[in-house]
Structure 1
């Protein structure tokens, strides 16, 4: 994959951005990850001379906007229920006519709901693992038998592998039921794909090189994502022909879900068939030391500071 003009900053004058709020933290289950990401983004923008300031959560941002304190927002809030990925923040900022990074209302709201994202992809002819939609109190045992083991059970509207249970045998069902009860809302039961876990960063409408994730424990859970130091990240993750295919699939999935700006698309490659299957879209990916979009950008020679600048440039 070659570095095009769109993979380079367009300008170098930090004054064009005005006063920038770096929105982080919030009250979702991903608060700590968001604070870590936000501090990194803040440092990167300030290093480039941007007049950037931290803002913790939507209520604090709302107060600042009422008083006209910011010209644009770099959104690095993760998750829903107090996070910045479910469309609520995006609608608020559009109401205030304040530019912001990332997807708009539609893409943000849709992709925070894994089940409805799958429905859109299937309607567009895009591949995704088989699944069942589980209402609160649903019979997980019957659903698992109908779908076929092994499966994952996860909340439809959480990220960062929060609340995910693996069901490889019927003995695992009770643990999955306990997870489901803990979240109470709609759950997704998804057929487990045995194969390679990959992710593709999106910048503008172009794919960054894929990353193949090889966790030591065999599963890319919250610990492997944010804590463990022994997870391997292979970039690019595939050979040239497959790299082109996964990049196109990721862009198609991103656009089909109404997304824009930047983000990340998670994909599985089935080991037996080689088929690529879409898992989900993240519209405000992590920007921590373990995060994947910065790793992919570095493969193209894009520094972390350049990446943050280029994302912010999309608001101009």
Structure 2
């Protein structure tokens, strides 16, 4: 694919940081994106987003925005809505898709409505009956906050007595809490770039699940790409990932996480509309397997700002 002239992008803001629980990871992602854009000759500038981000962008006379904000305020439709109001083109999904994908509960409800497979779940209301939850979902199960990313606030529950504390941990993040049936099998992730699913990555960790430690800190997480599936099975999971992405009306780029159980059934776990771009991150890894270095990847993502609407 022929690269655009760097001048075509104009003055680009790389939004990073923000105020969510994923701030530290966002800063790392943003710096990686910023370095790659500058290396490619783009007039790119880092912006540590705060509540006055719209005024900062307008004062800076930016032509477009690369969103590297993770979590609430940056990945949930809030900053996307502000950019729509200001008429500044930006990377990634629009307001509605960002809000839905950030909300695991809404994503799962949409997938169910579309006939797509996602593990059984229930919402844990205050005063819930642990016995009833276990009867419905079995053990083990996983408890997670609906509105956090990077596995923050998640707990694997092996005994009914652990449910109350797991709920408290997730509830401390704010928003709804859901319990989800545990899928025993292999975990995969599908990076999505401009309507195409990149090669799948299989994740292996000695930890109970692919948690924050495994994602960003541990040195013993294994990333397998090629993923080891037969080509036709990999293609089936890629197609499912694209369907899941489309069901939440996501666009541009992102990542879909899936499980494949011991019978071969695939299960959708979540969509990330602003995935990590750190040295541990999965989208750059999948892009390399598809022949794209980080410069190519960030430029391809930035190219989508021309497709999805100039101001």
TM-score range, shorter chain: over 0.9
Question: So what's the TM-score if we normalise by structure 1?
Answer: 0.93
Conserved? CA contact 2:13–2:47, under 8 Å: yes
Conserved? CA contact 1:140–1:177, under 8 Å: no
Match status 1:34 vs 2:14: no
Cα drift, residue 106 of structure 1:
1.1
Distance 1:58 1:140, change over 3 A: farther
For 1:139, the equivalent position in structure 2 comes to 129
- C-alpha distance in 1, partners of 2:127/2:76? 24
Cα drift, residue 230 of structure 1:
1.3
Deviations 1:230-281 (A, max 9, x none): 111011222201111011000010011110000000000011x110000000
Q: What SS does structure 2 have at the residue aligned with 1:135?
A: coil
1:52 to 37, 44, 47: 44
2:111 to 108, 121, 143: 121
RMSD, aligned α-carbons: 1.4
- C-alpha distance in 1, partners of 2:138/2:207? 23
Conserved? CA contact 1:58–1:89, under 8 Å: no
Conserved? CA contact 2:253–2:301, under 8 Å: yes
For 1:213, the equivalent position in structure 2 comes to 203
Question: So what's the TM-score if we normalise by structure 2?
Answer: 0.94
Q: How many residues of Structure 1 are paired with residues of Structure 2 in the alignment?
A: 305
1:240 to 226, 231, 241: 231
Q: What SS does structure 1 have at the residue aligned with 2:200?
A: strand
Runs of 4+ with deviation above 6 angstroms: none
Unaligned runs of 5+ in 2: 307-311
Conserved? CA contact 2:147–2:174, under 8 Å: no
Q: What SS does structure 2 have at the residue aligned with 1:189?
A: strand
- C-alpha distance in 2, partners of 1:16/1:293? 25
Unaligned runs of 5+ in 1: 1-7
Distance 1:175 1:135, change over 3 A: closer
Cα drift, residue 57 of structure 1:
1.2
Distance 1:55 1:68, change over 3 A: closer
For 2:273, the equivalent position in structure 1 comes to 283
